[in-house]
C-alpha cells in the first residue's frame, strides 16, 4: 500500500470512528430513556437525540468522506472481494451514498420526532389511548413517505425503507415469499388446532422476577454471553443495544404470572448480543462493526431462542435447574409437559409471545399494513380497525382493545413505518437454514446442548457469521454459509418435524 | 428589541443550546460509566467522551459565537444588569473568552485522559495501588499546568483552575481565608478533644442497604426532591449530575456497617440537586442553567446535609421513622444519643465522612497540596508521603495505606489538579451565611424542620439563590442575599454555638 493510500485510509477510519462514536452515544441516550430516565427528562432527551443524530448525519455525509472514498477507489479495486479493507470501503460507500440522499435537517427532525413519539406511546399504550399517538403516527407516516422519496426510482414506496434494514430486499421479493409461507403455515396451524390442545397452565403460576432473572442469566452465561461485556436491564419492550465491542447490553421484561415471556426474551436478546460480541474486534469503530441486516440479526436471536432454547434437549439439561428455583410451581410438572407447554401452538394476539408456528402470521399482517399505509391505501385513522380485521382474518382473533392491537409493538412509535418487521420472518427462515447447516457440519450439537455445552455451536456461528459483521450482505452470507440463496424449505421442514412430533400429525400434513 | 437583534439572540441561543445538549450528553456518558457500564466498555467510553467533548468545545468556541456576542453587545448595554438577556450575554461572553483560550484538541485530549484515569483509579483504589495511577496523575498534572498556561498573566499558576470552578477567586484570596479558618478551628478541635467523647457505636451496627435507601429517599422527598425529575443510584463516589431541567440525578453509596455514610451523602447530593432543579426553567439550554460556582453549589449541599440534616430539630422529627425501619438496632438508643452520634467530632482519615468541624482541615490539606504540585514544589512521586505528613500535622493521624490516603477522592483522577477542593470549604462558609440570613427572615424555619416541613426554607432558597442559576456570580449573590461579602463570622458562630452546646464548652472557647 502506498503511503498516501495509508494516510487516506487512516483519515477515513478516524472520520468513520467519530461517526460511530456519535451513533453509540445516540444509542446510550435511547437506552437510558428506556431504562432509567425519569419521566420529566423526556422532552430534553428528544432534543439531545436529535442534536447527536444531526451531528452524526452531518459527519457521515461530509464531502470529505466522498473525496476519501473516491481517492481510495483505485486501492479498493486492487483488493480481493473479501479483504477487510475492500469490505470497509464497499460498505462505507454504500452507507455514504444512502446517507447523502437524506438532508441532515430531515434526519434530525425524524430523530427528535420518534423520540417524542416513543415517550407518548409509552404512556398511551397502558392507557389504551390510540387517539394520543395518532397525530404522531400520522407525522411518522409522512416522514416515512418523505424518506422514500429521497430515493426516486424505487419500484415500491416501501423499498427504500426495506432496503435500509435488509439490504437488497424489496416488496417484490418479500411479498411472494411471505405469501408462500402463509400458505404453508395456514394448514399447519389448522392441523394443530384439530389435535388435543397442550395445557400450558404450568407457565402461568406466580414466578417471582428474581428467580426468573437468575435462571435466564445463568442460561445466557452458558450460551457465552459475557457479563463483563454487557448487562441486562428491564424495559417495557426488550431490546439489544451496543455502545462498543466491549459493551453490548440487553433488556428484558418479567411478568410474574408468565414464565415464558421474560425467559425467551432474555434468550432472544442474548442471541442478538452474541452476534455483535462475536464481530472481529479489528472492525471496532468502522461500519463493519454491526450485524449485516435485520434479517440476519433476527436469525441469530431466533436461533438461540427457538432452535436452542425451545428444544427438547435444552430442557433435558435445564429443567432441573428451573425446578430447583421454582420447586412449588414446577415440582409436579414433568419435563415432557414443560417442553410441550413452552412450544404450545395457539393463535394469539401478541407477536412477541407468539409460538414459532403462528409468529410469522403476526409479522405478515404488519408487513402488509406497512405497504398499505405507505401506498396511501390505508389511513392512520383506520389503522386500529384494519389491524383487528387482519387478525380476525389470519388468526381468527380480535383484540379487546388497541393496547393489545395496534399499540402493542414499539416499532412504528420509535422509528419509521416500512421495513420495521420483515426482518423477523426473514430471520426465522434464515435461522433454519443456518442451523441445518451447522447441524450437518456438527451433528453432535443437540447432544452438547443436552449437556449445557454451547461452544461448538457458538464457535461455528462466530466463525461463519458473527466475525464478519457487515462484511458480507445477507445474500452473500447465505450463499457462503449454506451454499444457496434464501429458501423456505429448511424452515418448513423444521416446523413440520418439530410440531408434527409434538402434536402427532400425520407426515404428509402441512408439508410445503 | 429590533428584529435583527431578536434574530441574532435566537441564533445565539440555538447555538448555545446545542453546546448544552452536548455537555449533557457528556454527563450521561460519565453517569453511565459510574453506575451501570460493564467493565469492558471503559476504553470505548473514554473515546466517546473525548469525541463529544471535542464537538462541544468546537461548538462553544466557534467564531460565530464571537460574532453574535459582538453584534449583541450594543443591545446588552441597553439592559439593566440583572435583566435575563444581559446576564445571558455576560455569562456567554465569559465562557466564550475562557473556552477560546483552550484548543479543542487539548480539551478532547484531557477529556479522554481523565476518563481513562478515572477507570484506572476505580480499580487501583480498592487495590491500594498508587503505582498504577501514578503515570496518569503525572500526565494530569502536566495537563493542569498546560491549562493554566493558556491564561498567561496569572498571579499564581493555580488561579486559572480555581477561577474556572469559583469565578473571581484566586490563591491570594483563598489562602489567607483558609489560614484564618484553620487558626480558628484548631483550638475548637482541641477543646472538643479534651471533653468526654461521644459514643457513636449506634451508627456502626448492621443496617441493610434497602432500609437506608428507603429512609434517605423519604427524607429528600420531604426536602422537595421530585423523583419524577430525578433518581438515585449507587456509585463508588456519590455525585449529582444534570441532563436537563427535568432530569437531575444523584448517587450515593451504602455501607451496611455505617448508617451515616449513605444517609448524609444522600442529603448532600439532594442539596446539589435542589439547586439545579430550582433554576428558572426559562434558562434551560443556556449557560445560565447551572449553579453559579463550586462554592455556592457546595453551600447548598452542605446546608441540606448539615444545617438541616444534622440539626436537633430534624432528628426530633425523623428519628422515630428511622427507629421504625431499624427497631433492633436503634430501639434502645435515645434521640439525644443519636443526635450526638451523628455530630461526633473526631479527627479522621476520610474527608466525605468527616464531621463538620474537622472537615475543612481535610480540604485545606488538599488545597495546599494542589498549590505545591502546580508550583512544582512537590512531585507526584512524593505525593502519597506528603499526604500522610499533612494529615499527621493537621489531624494527628496517618492513614494505614494510600487507599485511605491519596487515593480516597476521585477528583484528581477524574479531572484536573487545581481548583478541585476549595469549593467545599467556601461552601461551608457560605452555607452559614445564607442560612443565618434565611433564619433572620424566617425564624420559624427550625420549628418547621421539627415538623418535617421544608417549604419555607426551600422557597427562600429558590427565590434568593436557586432560580438565578448562573445569573449572578458568587460574590454578587452573597452581596444581594446577605448584604455583605464572603465572611467567616457566621460559620464560626454556627460551629461554636452548636458544638459548644454539644460538648459543653465554655462560651469564650474557640471564638474567632
A51 to B244: CB separation less than 8 angstroms, yes or no: no
In this prediction, residue A507 carries a pLDDT of: 60
d(CA A274, CA A300): 8
- Among candidate residues B2, B39, B142, B269, the one labeled active-site is B269
Chain B contact probe: residue of A16, A48, A50, A108 with most B CBs at under 10 A: A48
Q: Within 13 Å of residue B402, how many CA atoms lie on the same side as its CB?
A: 20
A25 to B243: CB separation less than 8 angstroms, yes or no: no
Q: Are residues B184 and B73 in the same domain?
A: no
B45 to A249: CB separation less than 8 angstroms, yes or no: no
First to last CA, chain B: 52
Average pLDDT, chain A: 96
CA distances, B53 to each of B47, B66, B67, B115, B165 (Å): 10, 20, 22, 11, 18
Q: Are residues A388 and A478 in the same domain?
A: yes
Beta-bridged to residue A232, according to DSSP, are A250
In this prediction, residue B510 carries a pLDDT of: 45
3-state secondary structure A129-192: CHHHHHHHHHHHHHHHHHHHHCCCCCCCCCHHHHHHHCCCCCHHHHHHHHHHHHHHHHHHHHHH
Length of chain A (residues): 512
Chain A contact probe: residue of B37, B40, B46, B112 with most A CBs at under 10 A: B40
In this prediction, residue B236 carries a pLDDT of: 86
A25 to B21: CB separation less than 8 angstroms, yes or no: no
Domain boundary among B124, B139, B157: B124
B485 within some domain: yes
In the structure, what pLDDT confidence band is assigned to residue B2 with cuts at 50, 70 and 90?
A: confident
Q: Residue A375's domain spans which residues?
A: 171-503
Contact list, B233 vs chain A (CB under 8 Å): 36
d(CA B58, CA B108): 10
Q: Are residues A120 and A180 in the same domain?
A: no
In this prediction, residue A313 carries a pLDDT of: 98
Contact list, B247 vs chain A (CB under 8 Å): 37-38, 40-41, 44-45
Q: Are residues B74 and B192 in the same domain?
A: no
Count of structural domains within chain B: 2
d(CA B279, CA B245): 8
- Could you tell me if B40 lies within 8 Å of chain A, comparing CB atoms? yes
Please state the rounded mean pLDDT for residues A88-116.
Answer: 94
- The three-state secondary structure class of A311 is coil
B511 pLDDT above the threshold of 60: no
B366 phi and psi angles, rounded to 5 deg? -65, -40
The residue assigned the cell 459582538 is B70
d(CA B360, CA A503): 76
Name which of B40, B244, B245 is nearest A246 (Cβ-Cβ).
B40
In the structure, what pLDDT confidence band is assigned to residue A108 with cuts at 50, 70 and 90?
A: confident
A510 pLDDT above the threshold of 70: no
- Could you tell me if B14 lies within 8 Å of chain A, comparing CB atoms? no
Contact indicator for B166, B419 with CB cutoff of 8 Å: yes
Query: Which residue of chain A is at minimal alpha-carbon distance from B233?
Result: A36
**Min distance A45 CA to chain B CA atoms (Å):** 8
In the structure, what pLDDT confidence band is assigned to residue B508 with cuts at 50, 70 and 90?
A: low
A44 to B246: CB separation less than 8 angstroms, yes or no: yes
- Could you tell me if A246 lies within 8 Å of chain B, comparing CB atoms? yes
In the structure, what pLDDT confidence band is assigned to residue B507 with cuts at 50, 70 and 90?
A: low
**Min distance B123 CA to chain A CA atoms (Å):** 14
Domain boundary among B124, B150, B181: B124
In this complex, how many residue pairs, one in chain A and one in chain B, have their CB atoms less than 8 Å apart?
114
B38 to A227: CB separation less than 8 angstroms, yes or no: yes
Strand ranges, E, within B265-319: none
What's the pTM value of the predicted model, to 2 decimals? Answer: 0.93
Return the ∠ at Cα A287 (arms to A283 and A290), rounded to 5°.
Answer: 75
- Could you tell me if A43 lies within 8 Å of chain B, comparing CB atoms? yes
d(CA B451, CA B446): 9
B263 within some domain: yes
**Min distance A51 CA to chain B CA atoms (Å):** 7
A261 within some domain: yes
Nearest to A413, CA basis, from A125, A149, A36, A167 = A125
B229 to A36: CB separation less than 8 angstroms, yes or no: no
Enclosing H/E stretch for B251: strand B247-252
In this prediction, residue A1 carries a pLDDT of: 76
pLDDT tens sequence across B195-209: 999 999 999 999 999
B375 pLDDT above the threshold of 50: yes
In this prediction, residue A377 carries a pLDDT of: 97
Name which of B38, B43, B243 is nearest A231 (Cβ-Cβ).
B38
- Could you tell me if A15 lies within 8 Å of chain B, comparing CB atoms? no
Please state the rounded mean pLDDT for residues A213-219.
Answer: 98
pLDDT tens sequence across B439-459: 999 999 999 999 999 999 999
Strand ranges, E, within A217-352: 232-234, 240-244, 247-252
A45 pLDDT above the threshold of 50: yes
B136 within some domain: no
Q: Are residues A329 and A456 in the same domain?
A: yes
B512 pLDDT above the threshold of 50: no
Name which of A28, A40, A52 is nearest B229 (Cβ-Cβ).
A40
Contact list, A284 vs chain B (CB under 8 Å): 44
In this prediction, residue B353 carries a pLDDT of: 87
Contacting residues for A104 by C-beta, under 8 A, at least 6 apart: A54, A57, A58, A61
Retrieve residue B81's grid coordinates.
444588569
Quote the percentage of chain A above a pLDDT of 90. 95
- Could you tell me if A41 lies within 8 Å of chain B, comparing CB atoms? yes
The residue assigned the cell 499527621 is B392
- A371-398 in b/e form (b: 16+ CB < 10 A) is bbbbeeebebeebbebbbebbeebbeee
Contact list, B48 vs chain A (CB under 8 Å): 21, 24-25, 243-244
By annotation, the residues of A acting in catalysis are 269
Contacting residues for A173 by C-beta, under 8 A, at least 6 apart: none
pLDDT tens sequence across A124-174: 999 999 999 999 999 999 999 999 999 999 999 999 999 999 999 999 999
A249 to B284: CB separation less than 8 angstroms, yes or no: no
- Could you tell me if A24 lies within 8 Å of chain B, comparing CB atoms? yes
In chain B, residues 249-308 whose CB comes closer than 8 Å to chain A? 249, 284-285
Average pLDDT, chain B: 96
d(CA A271, CA B485): 63
Q: Are residues B360 and B473 in the same domain?
A: yes
- Could you tell me if B389 lies within 8 Å of chain A, comparing CB atoms? no
CATH number of the domain residue A242 falls in: 1.10.1370.30
B91 pLDDT above the threshold of 90: yes
- Could you tell me if B455 lies within 8 Å of chain A, comparing CB atoms? no
d(CA A324, CA A186): 39
Name which of B41, B43, B246 is nearest A43 (Cβ-Cβ).
B246
Within a 10 A sphere around the Cβ of B82, how many other Cβ atoms? 12
d(CA A499, CA B455): 66
pLDDT tens sequence across B407-451: 999 999 999 999 999 999 999 999 999 999 999 999 999 999 999
Q: Are residues B214 and B344 in the same domain?
A: yes
B370 within some domain: yes
pLDDT tens sequence across B18-48: 999 999 999 999 999 999 999 999 989 999 9
Contact indicator for B512, B194 with CB cutoff of 8 Å: no
- Could you tell me if A28 lies within 8 Å of chain B, comparing CB atoms? yes
A358 within some domain: yes
Q: Are residues B351 and B481 in the same domain?
A: yes
Domain boundary among A124, A139, A161: A124
CA distances, B36 to each of A249, A415, B33, B234, B385 (Å): 10, 26, 6, 9, 34
Query: Which residue of chain A is at minimal alpha-carbon distance from B19?
Result: A51
Indicate the pairing of strand A232-234 with strand A247-252: parallel
Beta-bridged to residue B94, according to DSSP, are none
Please state the rounded mean pLDDT for residues A412-441.
Answer: 97
A164 within some domain: no
Q: Are residues A495 and A368 in the same domain?
A: yes
The residue assigned the cell 399482517 is A365
B254 phi and psi angles, rounded to 5 deg? -110, 130
Contacting residues for A366 by C-beta, under 8 A, at least 6 apart: A351, A409, A420, A421
Q: Are residues A67 and A204 in the same domain?
A: no
In this prediction, residue B223 carries a pLDDT of: 98
Q: Which of A318-327, A484-493, B502-511 has the lowest mean pLDDT?
A: B502-511
Nearest to B359, CA basis, from B368, B347, B367, B371 = B347
- Could you tell me if B43 lies within 8 Å of chain A, comparing CB atoms? yes
Please state the rounded mean pLDDT for residues A1-8.
Answer: 91
Q: Are residues A179 and A120 in the same domain?
A: no
Chain A contact probe: residue of B13, B31, B116, B244 with most A CBs at under 10 A: B244
Q: Are residues A116 and A175 in the same domain?
A: no
ipTM of the complex: 0.92
B472 within some domain: yes
Contact list, A42 vs chain B (CB under 8 Å): 246
Indicate the pairing of strand A247-252 with strand B232-234: unpaired
- Could you tell me if A32 lies within 8 Å of chain B, comparing CB atoms? yes
- The three-state secondary structure class of A239 is coil
Amino acid at each position: 500500500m502506498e503511503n498516501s493510500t495509508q494516510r487516506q485510509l487512516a483519515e477515513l477510519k478516524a472520520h468513520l470512528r467519530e461517526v460511530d462514536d456519535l451513533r453509540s452515544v445516540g444509542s446510550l441516550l435511547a437506552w437510558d430513556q428506556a431504562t432509567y430516565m425519569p419521566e420529566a427528562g423526556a422532552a430534553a432527551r428528544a432534543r439531545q437525540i436529535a442534536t447527536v443524530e444531526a451531528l452524526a448525519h452531518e459527519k457521515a455525509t461530509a464531502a470529505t468522506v466522498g473525496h476519501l472514498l473516491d481517492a481510495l477507489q483505485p486501492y479498493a479495486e486492487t483488493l480481493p472481494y473479501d479483504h477487510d479493507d475492500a469490505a470497509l470501503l464497499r460498505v462505507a460507500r454504500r452507507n455514504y451514498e444512502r446517507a447523502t440522499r437524506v438532508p441532515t435537517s430531515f434526519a434530525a427532525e425524524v430523530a427528535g420526532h420518534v423520540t417524542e413519539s416513543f415517550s407518548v406511546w409509552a404512556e398511551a399504550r397502558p392507557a389504551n389511548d390510540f387517539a394520543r399517538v395518532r397525530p404522531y403516527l400520522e407525522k411518522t407516516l409522512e416522514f416515512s413517505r418523505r424518506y422514500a422519496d429521497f430515493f426516486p426510482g424505487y419500484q415500491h414506496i416501501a423499498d427504500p425503507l426495506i432496503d435500509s434494514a435488509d439490504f437488497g430486499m424489496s416488496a417484490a421479493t418479500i411479498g411472494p415469499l411471505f405469501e408462500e409461507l402463509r400458505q404453508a403455515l395456514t394448514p399447519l396451524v389448522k392441523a394443530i388446532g384439530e389435535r388435543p390442545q397442550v395445557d400450558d397452565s404450568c407457565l402461568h403460576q406466580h414466578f417471582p422476577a428474581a428467580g426468573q432473572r437468575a435462571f435466564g442469566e445463568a442460561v445466557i452465561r452458558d450460551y457465552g454471553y459475557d457479563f463483563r461485556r454487557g448487562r441486562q436491564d428491564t424495559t417495557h419492550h426488550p431490546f439489544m443495544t451496543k455502545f462498543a465491542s466491549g459493551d453490548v447490553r440487553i433488556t428484558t421484561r418479567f411478568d410474574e404470572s408468565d414464565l415464558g415471556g421474560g425467559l425467551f426474551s432474555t434468550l432472544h436478546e442474548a442471541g442478538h448480543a452474541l452476534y455483535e460480541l462475536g464481530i472481529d474486534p479489528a472492525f471496532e469503530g468502522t461500519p463493519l462493526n454491526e450485524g449485516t441486516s435485520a434479517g440476519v440479526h433476527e436469525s441469530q436471536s431466533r436461533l438461540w431462542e427457538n432452535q436452542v432454547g425451545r428444544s427438547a434437549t435444552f430442557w433435558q439439561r435445564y429443567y432441573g435447574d428451573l425446578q430447583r428455583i421454582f420447586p412449588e410451581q414446577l415440582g409436579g410438572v414433568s419435563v415432557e409437559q414443560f417442553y410441550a407447554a413452552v412450544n404450545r401452538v395457539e393463535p394469539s394476539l401478541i407477536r412477541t409471545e407468539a409460538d414459532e408456528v403462528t409468529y410469522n402470521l403476526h409479522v405478515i399482517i404488519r408487513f402488509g399494513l406497512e405497504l398499505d399505509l405507505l401506498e396511501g391505501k390505508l389511513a392512520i385513522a383506520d389503522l386500529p380497525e384494519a389491524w383487528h380485521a387482519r387478525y380476525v382474518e389470519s388468526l381468527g382473533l380480535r383484540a379487546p382493545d388497541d393496547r393489545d392491537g395496534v399499540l402493542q409493538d414499539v416499532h412504528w412509535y420509535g422509528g419509521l413505518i416500512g421495513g420495521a418487521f420483515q426482518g423477523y420472518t426473514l430471520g426465522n427462515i434464515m435461522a433454519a437454514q443456518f442451523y441445518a447447516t451447522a447441524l450437518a457440519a456438527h451433528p453432535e450439537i443437540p447432544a452438547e446442548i443436552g449437556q449445557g455445552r454451547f461452544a461448538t455451536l457458538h464457535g461455528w456461528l462466530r466463525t461463519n457469521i458473527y466475525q464478519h459483521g457487515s462484511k458480507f450482505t445477507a445474500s452473500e452470507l447465505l450463499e457462503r454459509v449454506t451454499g444457496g440463496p434464501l429458501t423456505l424449505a429448511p424452515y418448513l421442514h423444521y416446523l413440520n418435524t418439530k410440531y408434527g412430533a409434538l402434536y402427532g400429525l400425520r407426515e404428509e400434513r402441512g408439508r410445503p
